[in-house]
Amino acid sequence: MQTISDTHRLHQQLKQWRSQGQTIAFVPTMGNLHSGHLLLVKEAKQRADRVVVSIFVNPMQFGAGEDLDAYPRTLEQDQASLVELGADLLFTPTPDLLYPKGLENQTFVEVPGISMLYCGESRPGHFRGVATVVCKLFNLVQPDLALFGMKDYQQLAVIRTMVRDLNMPIEILGIETVRNSDGLALSSRNGYLSANERQLAPELKRTLDWMAEKLREDNDLRALEQQAADRLNSAGFSTDYIHICHAHSLEKAGSDDKELVILAAAQLGRARLIDNLRVDLAD
């Protein structure tokens, strides 16, 4: 596996593969790779001739006071994992490479509407940073397809909307969330949890499962959201939001909607945990 940090060498290698008629799959990450990231790489290898992975801790998507400096960086370990899986190229750009004029003077991409909801409301500018860096990486790699985890359900929806609106010829694949045996979704930020918090953390998924059962017998969605938030707060979380939404538009669902997704974010100690659960009431 090659590790490349400059665009000239990146483009040379990509041009060679394309001249041979090979397809390219792309997995953008912020590193500190866990089994969820590695599943994306495995899926990519099944769907394309070549797999490119990027590692870039994107400063544009972190707000003031967030964990940009503390975000775990484990490049050597990540490289070893990718070599073992057979990834073809690791792209490791620097902030100076992607934002040579600085963040304040950087042209940005913003997806209206969907970016302002939920995590977008709690973290102003977050999805602008996500959309901008993913757009830049797509322009650099020009993949045939790109893979993202469904744990970041709203992020996936933002990227799909951006690709559709900007007519990017890239197939976007969402891959199911990978979980620990107790239900906690894998996340790089799980490492922030203390031993006691780690024991509490699976309550987030248990609450989503409880809501899914309640949805089949109770259509007072807003009351159910409040009960779920109260349940999490009583367990030791500080709930940011928990909403029952239309699975595609992500607008808050009404009592007649059948294709739903429950979106949740909650603070537990230093860790901000997010999760989601699809619920299809038409079954």
- The pair of three-digit structure tokens given for residue 210, joined into one six-digit string: 């409880």
CB-CB contact of 205 with 179 (8 Å): yes
182 in a structural domain: no
Note the pLDDT of residue 267: 98
71 in a structural domain: yes
245 in a structural domain: yes
**37 in catalytic set:** yes
Note the pLDDT of residue 7: 97
116 in a structural domain: yes
Assess whether 168 and 210 both reside in one domain. Answer: no
- What sign does the dihedral 100-61-155-78 (CA atoms) show? positive
- Within 87-243, residue ranges assigned H as helices are 95-98, 119-122, 126-141, 153-165, 195-200, 203-215, 221-235
183 in a structural domain: no
154 in a structural domain: yes
- The pair of three-digit structure tokens given for residue 256, joined into one six-digit string: 């007649």
* Residue bearing tokens 């007072």: 220
Assess whether 205 and 69 both reside in one domain. Answer: no
Domain boundary (144, 175, 206) is at: 175
Assess whether 62 and 170 both reside in one domain. Answer: yes
Assess whether 124 and 8 both reside in one domain. Answer: yes
Assess whether 169 and 195 both reside in one domain. Answer: no
**Which is nearest to 53 in space by CA: 127, 2, 128, 97?**
2
Assess whether 158 and 208 both reside in one domain. Answer: no
d(CA 143, CA 125): 26
Catalytic residue chosen out of the listed positions 11, 37, 243, 248? 37
d(CA 11, CA 50): 14
Assess whether 227 and 110 both reside in one domain. Answer: no
Domain boundary (148, 175, 202) is at: 175
Assess whether 60 and 167 both reside in one domain. Answer: yes
* Contacts for 29 with CB less than 8 Å, ≥ 6 apart: 37, 40, 53, 54, 55
Give the CATH number of the domain where residue 34 resides.
Answer: 3.40.50.620
CB-CB contact of 148 with 172 (8 Å): yes
51 in a structural domain: yes
d(CA 13, CA 283): 47
* 3-state secondary structure at position 186: coil
Note the pLDDT of residue 283: 65
Assess whether 163 and 233 both reside in one domain. Answer: no
Assess whether 77 and 99 both reside in one domain. Answer: yes
* Residue burial 94-125, b: 16+ Cβ < 10 Å; e: rest: eeeebbeeeeeeeeebebeebbebbbbeebeb
Which H/E stretch holds residue 47?
Answer: helix 35-47
Assess whether 36 and 117 both reside in one domain. Answer: yes
> What is the total count of domains within the chain?
2
Give the CATH number of the domain where residue 199 resides.
Answer: 3.30.1300.10
Which H/E stretch holds residue 280?
Answer: strand 271-280
Let me know the angle formed at the C-alpha of 267 by 189 and 95, rounded to the nearest 5 degrees.
45
Note the pLDDT of residue 282: 82
CB-CB contact of 109 with 132 (8 Å): yes
Q: Which long-range contacts (CB under 8 A, 24 or more apart) does 246-249 make?
A: 247/278, 247/280, 249/114
pLDDT < 70 stretches in the chain: 283
Domain boundary (114, 143, 175) is at: 175
| Residue numbers of the domain that contains 150 | 2-175
d(CA 224, CA 179): 25
Assess whether 128 and 206 both reside in one domain. Answer: no
CB-CB contact of 40 with 148 (8 Å): yes
180 in a structural domain: no
Note the pLDDT of residue 219: 83
